[in-house]
C-alpha cells in the first residue's frame, strides 16, 4: 500500500478548464468516454482530446483566466498536470497544447504564471505572457505572435497562420484515428442499448482503436525537435504498442469465446432438459469476457496516461507492477476455469448418464463462482488503476484495501474449486457414488457462496451475454459484426462526417493487433496451491 501515499495531488474534480462556447459539431474524448457537443460550462480535464469538424469551433477558458480558441478541422490534446507544492517561482503548473492538425488562438491569463507550450509534430513554442495564433497542417507549423514573446524550437514559420481545410484534416492520421474511434464507440453504444451480443466484439474493437490512435499520436512525436517531448513519446509509444497487442488478443478471445458458445448452445438446444448447462455456460462466458475487458481497459489507461504525460514514470511503473499484475493473474485464472466449464459440459452431454449430469452441474456451479470471484478481482483492480491515474487519493486507498480482501476471497474460492475437481475425478473413477459426491459438492458450494457474499464489491456485469435462441449461420452473422471499409459518412442525428473503421477493426482507454493464439489449458497458470511452482504467478492473498 506504500505507493498509494505517493499519489500526486491533482485538480481533477473541476478539471483544468471549462467550455466557454461552441459552434457546429465538436467531439471530446475525456477519460475514456466520448461525447458530442459538450454543454457550456462542462469541465475539460487533463489529457482530454478535442476534435472540431468543418465549420465548427470551440473556446475553452482555463481556471487561471487563459483562453484557447480551437478552429475548424482541428485535433488538439490539452494537458496540464497540476501538482501542489511542486512548482517554484510562483508557477502553478505546466500547460501543453498539442495541435496535431488545425489552428488555435491562445491568450495567457493574468493570474499566477502557468508555463504554456504550444506543441505540433514538428515544433514547440514556449509562451511568455502571450497572445498567439498557432497551427499545423501535420507537416508544417505556423506561429503568429500578436502580443508577448515565445521561445521556439523546430521547424516553425512565423507570420500568418492559415486555416486547415477538410481535405488536409482528412489526410492527417491523428485526426482520422480519433474520428474513426468515435464512430466505433457510437456503434458499440447502439449495440449495447439493444442488448446485442455483438456489443462485446464492438467494445473490444473500440478499445483497440483507442490504443491504435495513441500509437499514431506518439509516432507523430517520436522525432520531435524537443528532447523532452521526444523522450516522452518514445516511452509512451512502447506502452501504446503493448496496449494494442493486448486489445487485439482480447478481440480475438471474445470472438473465439462467442463462437465456442454458439456451438455448444446449438447442441444444448436439442436437449431441452439441459437448460441449466446453458445458463452456466452463458454466465461463465460473460464474466470471462468481463475480466478481459478490465485487462485491456487497464492497459489502455496506462498507455493514455503516459501519452498525456500525466505522471512520472516511477509512479506509473509501481502502479503497473502491482495492480496490473494482480489483474493479469485473475484473467489467466478466469480463462482457465472457463475452459474447464466448456470441457465438463461437453463431457456431461456426451455421457448421457443422469448421475454424471447431476454431479457435473453441481461442480459447474462452483466453477462459475470461481470465475465470478476472479471477475471481482479484475473489477476492483481496474477501478483502482482508474482512481490511481486520476489522483484520487481517498478512493485509491479504499480500493487498495478492497483489492487485498478480494484477492484473499478469490484465493479461497479457487482452493475450494480444487476440492470440487477432486470430487469429480473420484466420481468418474467410480470410487464414489452419486449421493456422496453430491453431498460433498453441496458443502463446497455453501462455503463458496459464503465467500462470495463477503466480497467488498460485487463484480459488474456490463457484458452482453448471448441468448439460447437459434444461432444464425456464420455467413448471416457477418453483417452484424463487420465494420464497413473506411469512408467518410455522416453520423446519425446530424453529427459531422466521421470516417468508419476498416473491416475487422484494429484499438489506445484505453484504450486498445493480437498475434498470440488463445493459450491452451496446459499454458495457463496452475491452481493456487501449485502457484509456487511458477515464480511469475503470485497467489492471491499472499
At 333, which helix (H) or strand (E)?
A: helix 325-351
pLDDT band per the 50, 70, 90 thresholds, residue 386? confident
Q: Which of 344, 351, 367, 359 is nearest to 435 (CA)?
A: 359
pLDDT of residue 166: 95
Cα gap 405→542, rounded to integer Å? 11
Using CB atoms within 10 A of its CB, is residue 463 exposed (0-12), middle (13-18) or buried (19+)? Answer: buried
Cβ atoms of 369 and 452 within 8 Å: the answer is yes
Contact 214, 208 (CB under 8 A): no
Question: Which segments of the chain belong to CATH 1.20.120?
Answer: 248-460
First to last CA, the chain: 14
Residue 519's pLDDT is: 30
Residue 360 has pLDDT above 80, yes or no: yes
Give yes or no for residue 504 having a pLDDT over 60: no
Confidence of residue 271 (pLDDT cuts 50, 70, 90): low
- Residue 6, strand partner residues: none
The mean-pLDDT minimum among 12-21, 398-407, 418-427, 472-481 falls in: 472-481
Look at residue 398 and tell me whether its pLDDT is greater than 50. yes
Task: Specify the fold of 248-460.
Answer: 1.20.120
The arrangement of secondary structure in 2-170, i.e. its CATH architecture, is: Sandwich (2.60)
Residue with the bigger pLDDT between 399 and 530: it is 399
Please write the tens of the pLDDT for every residue from 462-498: 555 554 443 333 333 333 333 233 333 333 333 333 3
Of the listed ranges 164-173, 387-396, 493-502, the one predicted with least confidence: 493-502
pTM across the whole model: 0.76
Q: So what's the pLDDT on residue 493? A: 36
Share of the chain above pLDDT 70, in %: 77
Check: CB of residue 20 under 8 Å from CB of residue 38.
no
Which residues fall within 8 angstroms of residue 217, CB to CB, at 6 or more apart? 77, 100, 174, 177, 240, 307
Q: Residue 253 has what pLDDT?
A: 85
CB atoms within 10 A of CB 513: 15
Mean of the pLDDT values across residues 202-222? 93
CB atoms under 10 Å from CB of 39, counted, come to 9
Closest by CA position to 120, among listed 225, 211, 212 = 225
Backbone angles phi, psi at 144, to 5 degrees: -125, 110
Task: Provide the pLDDT confidence category of residue 391 given band limits of 50, 70 and 90.
Answer: confident
Query: pLDDT per residue over 48-105, tens digit each?
Result: 999 999 999 999 999 889 999 999 999 999 998 755 433 333 344 689 999 999 999 9
Q: Are 521 and 335 in contact (CB under 8 A)?
A: no
Amino acid at each position: 500500500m506504500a505507493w498509494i501515499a505517493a499519489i500526486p495531488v491533482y485538480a481533477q474534480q473541476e478539471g483544468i478548464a471549462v467550455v466557454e462556447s461552441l459552434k457546429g459539431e465538436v467531439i471530446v474524448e475525456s477519460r475514456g468516454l466520448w461525447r458530442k457537443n459538450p454543454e457550456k460550462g462542462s469541465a475539460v480535464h487533463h489529457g482530454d482530446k478535442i476534435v472540431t469538424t468543418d465549420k465548427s469551433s470551440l473556446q475553452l477558458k482555463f481556471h487561471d483566466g487563459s483562453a484557447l480558441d480551437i478552429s475548424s478541422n482541428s485535433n488538439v490534446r490539452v494537458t496540464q498536470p497540476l501538482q501542489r507544492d511542486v512548482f517554484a517561482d510562483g508557477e502553478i503548473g505546466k500547460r501543453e497544447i498539442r495541435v496535431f492538425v488545425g489552428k488555435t488562438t491562445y491568450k495567457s491569463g493574468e493570474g499566477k504564471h502557468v508555463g504554456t507550450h504550444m506543441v505540433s509534430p514538428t515544433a514547440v513554442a514556449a509562451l511568455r505572457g502571450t497572445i498567439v495564433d498557432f497551427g499545423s497542417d501535420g507537416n508544417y507549423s505556423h506561429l503568429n505572435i500578436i502580443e508577448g514573446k515565445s521561445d521556439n524550437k523546430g521547424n516553425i514559420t512565423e507570420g500568418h497562420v492559415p486555416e486547415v481545410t477538410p481535405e488536409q484534416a482528412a489526410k492527417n492520421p491523428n485526426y482520422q484515428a480519433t474520428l474513426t474511434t468515435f464512430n466505433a464507440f457510437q456503434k458499440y453504444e447502439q449495440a449495447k442499448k439493444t442488448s446485442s451480443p455483438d456489443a462485446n466484439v464492438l467494445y473490444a474493437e473500440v478499445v483497440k482503436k483507442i490504443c491504435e490512435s495513441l500509437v499514431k499520436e506518439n509516432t507523430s512525436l517520436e522525432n520531435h525537435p524537443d528532447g523532452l517531448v521526444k523522450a516522452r513519446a518514445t516511452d509512451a509509444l512502447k506502452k501504446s504498442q503493448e496496449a494494442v497487442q493486448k486489445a487485439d488478443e482480447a478481440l480475438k478471445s471474445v470472438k473465439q469465446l462467442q463462437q465456442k458458445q454458439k456451438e455448444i448452445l446449438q447442441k444444448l438446444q436439442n436437449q431441452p432438459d439441459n437448460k441449466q448447462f446453458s445458463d452456466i455456460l452463458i454466465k461463465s462466458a460473460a464474466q470471462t469476457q468481463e475480466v478481459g475487458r478490465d485487462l485491456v481497459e487497464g492497459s489502455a489507461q496506462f498507455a493514455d496516461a503516459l501519452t498525456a504525460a500525466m505522471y512520472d514514470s516511477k509512479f506509473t511503473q509501481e502502479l503497473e507492477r502491482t495492480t496490473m499484475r494482480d489483474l493479469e493473474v485473475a484473467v489467466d485464472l478466469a480463462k482457465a476455469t472457463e475452459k474447464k466449464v466448456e470441457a465438463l459440459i461437453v463431457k456431461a452431454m456426451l455421457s448421457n448418464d443422469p448421475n454424471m449430469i447431476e454431479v457435473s452441474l453441481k461442480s459447474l456451479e462452483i466453477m462459475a463462482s470461481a470465475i465470478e470471484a476472479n471477475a471481482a478481482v479484475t473489477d476492483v483492480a481496474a477501478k483502482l488503476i482508474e482512481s490511481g491515474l486520476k489522483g484520487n487519493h481517498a478512493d485509491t486507498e479504499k480500493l487498495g484495501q478492497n483489492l487485498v480482501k478480494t484477492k484473499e476471497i478469490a484465493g479461497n474460492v479457487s482452493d475450494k474449486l480444487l476440492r470440487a475437481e477432486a470430487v469429480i475425478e473420484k466420481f468418474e473413477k467410480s470410487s464414489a457414488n452419486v449421493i456422496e459426491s453430491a453431498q460433498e459438492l453441496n458443502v463446497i458450494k455453501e462455503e463458496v457462496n459464503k465467500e462470495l457474499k463477503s466480497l467488498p464489491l460485487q463484480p459488474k456485469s456490463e457484458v452482453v451475454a448471448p441468448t439460447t435462441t437459434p444461432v444464425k449461420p456464420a455467413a448471416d452473422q457477418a453483417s452484424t459484426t463487420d465494420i464497413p471499409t473506411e469512408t467518410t459518412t455522416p453520423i446519425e442525428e446530424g453529427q459531422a462526417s466521421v470516417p468508419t473503421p476498416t473491416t475487422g477493426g484494429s484499438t489506445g482507454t484505453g484504450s486498445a493487433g493480437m498475434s498470440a493464439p488463445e493459450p491452451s489449458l496446459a499454458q495457463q497458470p496452475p491452481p493456487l496451491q501449485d502457484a509456487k511452482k511458477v515464480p511469475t504467478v503470485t497467489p492471491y492473498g499472499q
